[in-house]
Chains A and B, each alone.
Chain A
C-alpha cells in the first residue's frame, strides 16, 4: 500500500485515471474503519484533504455547490438556513468528532442505503458532480445510487461536489434509531416543500437496497396542495391527506429484516415519520415558524 497526497484536483484526477483501484480518502470515517479491521486492503490511499477545489462551498444563482471535502460540522454551522434538510440530517450523523471529519462526498462514495445525507439530498433533488480526466458531469442523486453500496461513479471518477438549490420552503429530516448519537438509522425520511415550482420532494433511507424517493407520495401531496389552492392560501392539511401521504411513503419502501429492525417495523415507522415531518413542514409553511419533535 502506498500513500499519495493530491495537491490539486488535476493532480487527484490524473492519479485516479492511472490507478482506478486507489482508494480516495477524505474524512476517513468509513474507509479507515474498513482498513483497521482488515476488511479491505486497497493498493493505495489517495488523500484528498489538501485539494482546494473540494474544501469549500459556494453559491451561484440560488444553487449551492458543496465541495466533496466539506465536513458535516460546517454544513450544520454554515448552511442551516440555506439547506435546512441537509443540515438537520448532518446533525444526526454519528458524533461531534465524526461530524468534524466526515463529509457528504464520503457518504455518497460509500453509497450505503443508510447514509444519513441521502434522504435529504433526494428530497432536494440534488445533483452529484463527478469528475475525471475525461471531464466533469452532473447526475441527479436519484440516478447515482445503483445498488447496495454501489453507485454510478466510474472507476476513474472522483465525487467532487453536490449541487442543491437553496431552500424555497420548509424541509425536514427524521430518523429512527436506538439513541440520538452514533446510530445507523433503522429508517430515515426527509421531506422538502418546493413552493417555487409547486412540488414536494422526499427521500427514504434504510428502506430499500438504495436510498430512494417516494415519487407517488410526492405527486399526491403536490397535486392536493395545488388543486386545493393551498400553496398560495395555506390552511391546515386535511387528516386524510396526511394519512394518504404516510401510506404512499410506506408503500414506496422495500425494506429487509436485519439486526437493526424488521421490514414491517421499517415500513410502519416510515409512515409515521412521513406524517410527522409533513405536519412540521406544513406548520412552518403556514405559520412561518419552525416546529419539530
Chain B
C-alpha cells in the first residue's frame, strides 16, 4: 500500500509498504531514517520511541497504515539544523551514552517529559523513562542528563 505521512515537518511517501509492517519499519527501511532503533519489537525497550501527533509511542507497535496522514517526529527531528536540542546536548555533556542503542528512544521520551513537566522530580524522571531500557545500565548518567536538560531549558 501507499502511505503518505509527515515526518519531521516534511511530507513523505512510502510505496509498497506491507499492510502488517510497523511504522518503525517504514521509518527505517523505506524512508531512510535509521535513528529510531529496532530492538525488541514488542514495546519492552522503548528504543523505537517517536512522537505520533505529539504523543510519544513505540513505533514498532503502530501499524504502518495507522500513520497515514499523521505527523511523526523522530530523533532526527529534535535538533534545529546543526544545533542540538538541550536534551541531546545534555546527554553528550553528561556522558549519558554508552553503546548508544537506547539513546534515540530516551531522547524522544525525555524531550516529551520536559515539554510537559519542565521541573521533573527524580521520581517523575524515573517513571517517565521506565519504558526505556539501557542494557549498558547507564541509568545514573541518564538521570544526570535529564536533570541538566531541564535546567538548561528552564533558563533558555
Contacts and interface: CB of A to CB of B under 8 A. Distances in A.
Interface of A: 1-3, 5, 25, 27-29, 32-33, 35-37, 41, 44-45, 47, 49, 94-98, 100-101, 180-182
A5 B67 CA distance: 11
List the 4 closest A-B pairs by CB distance, nearest first: A95-B131, A181-B130, A3-B65, A3-B19
Contact of A101 (B41, B42, B58, B128): B58
A37 B127 CA distance: 28
Contacts of B109: 96-97
A100 B128 CA distance: 12
A44 B64 CA distance: 13
A31 B56 CA distance: 19
Contacts of A100: 55-57
Given A5-B68, A32-B22, A37-B41, A25 B63 contact: yes
Contact of B46 (A2, A32, A95, A180): A95
Contacts of B49: 97
Nearest to B65: A3
Contacts of A101: 57-58, 61-62
B43 A98 contact: yes
26 contacts: A2-B19, A5-B68, A28-B62, A28-B66, A29-B43, A29-B61, A32-B63, A33-B43, A33-B61, A36-B22, A45-B19, A45-B65, A95-B43, A95-B46, A95-B130, A96-B56, A96-B127, A96-B128, A97-B58, A98-B61, A100-B56, A100-B57, A101-B57, A101-B58, A181-B130, A182-B131
B9 interface: no
Contacts of A5: 65, 68
Contact of B41 (A36, A95, A97, A182): A36
A1 B19 contact: yes
A37 B131 contact: no
Given A32-B63, A36-B42, A101-B58, 19 more contacts: A1-B19, A1-B20, A5-B68, A25-B66, A28-B62, A29-B43, A29-B58, A32-B61, A33-B61, A37-B41, A45-B20, A47-B66, A49-B66, A94-B43, A95-B46, A96-B128, A97-B58, A101-B61, A101-B62
Contacts of B42: 33, 36-37
Residue of A25, A36, A41 most packed against chain B (CB within 10 A): A36
Contacts of A41: 20
